[in-house]
Amino acid sequence: MKFPFISLFLLTSLFSSPDEELIKIENAAPKSASATPIKKRQVLIYSNPSGFNHKSIPTGIKGLRVLSEKTKAFTATFTLSTKEFTAEGLKKYDAIIFNNTTHVQKAFTEKSQRKAILNFIKNGKAFIGFHAASDGGMNQWQEYTDMIGGCFAGHPWNAGGKWPFFVEDVNHPVNQAFKEKEFMFSDEIYQYKSYDRSNLRILIGLDSVKTDKKGNSKTNDYPVSWIRSYGKGRVFYSNFGHNKATWWTPFILQHFLDGIQWALGDIEGPSKSIPQSRNLK
């Protein structure tokens, strides 16, 4: 496990000794990868917010560390710096993960860095985003929003609530963790702007008509997890990840791992858009 860019203070506070969070995550994480990696996978995980600072960011770092070490699906390098995000710096990696990185347009202001990130994916590598990775981009960096699939436009379904979800694509391997087609779960769920379903394959959706909250979609289309092809590369995004407890929920960790492995190309499954199956009005 490599941590060349993360601060000594954060390393000490996160990993100096097993804590209750870490024990929960270790117990909840899958025992092994769902698919044997085609090759050793190197993943750069960026966890520095440029807007709202989610308290679950350190928990997400622990979760991704455990997934890496326990399953051997990938080798993780953690960073709070943007310095590695250049065409040359990204050459050693197979994927980028953005862990609750609000307002990325403020972090990556140089055109060369923005181009390096998007070309990295377009040329065949992977991008994975969790929760607030979609809270950024437009209007200052519309291309980022286009890549990830949508931009945060509020969260009518707040973190303290328990909300109804459904599996949109029941046969997709990234959804193997969900044993039921419908489930209840507590997390903060976004609505989006600059979202076009035809560009994405929705995996998990919010069953919004079963809640007392109203959002901005005329068809009540509120995607939660999705995948897409982007040039020659692959993108996996999940809105789950605001609440700390999300990161020690077994089926969510399995879903995250399978999404990462799909984006890396070690799990196969279609990325073509599918029609909205419910909540239509």
Q: Are 188 and 157 in contact (CB under 8 A)?
A: yes
Entry pTM: 0.93
pLDDT of amino acid 8:
46
DSSP 16: S
Dump pLDDT digits (tens) for 256-268. Answer: 999 999 999 999 9
pLDDT of amino acid 278:
84
Strand partners, 229: 234
Domains delineated in the chain: 2-264 (3.40.50.880)
For the chain, residues with pLDDT lower than 50 are 8-9, 12, 16
pLDDT of amino acid 7:
53
203: enclosing H helix or E strand: strand 201-206
**Cα pseudo-dihedral 148, 97, 232, 173, rounded to 10:** -90
Average pLDDT, the chain: 94
263: enclosing H helix or E strand: helix 250-264
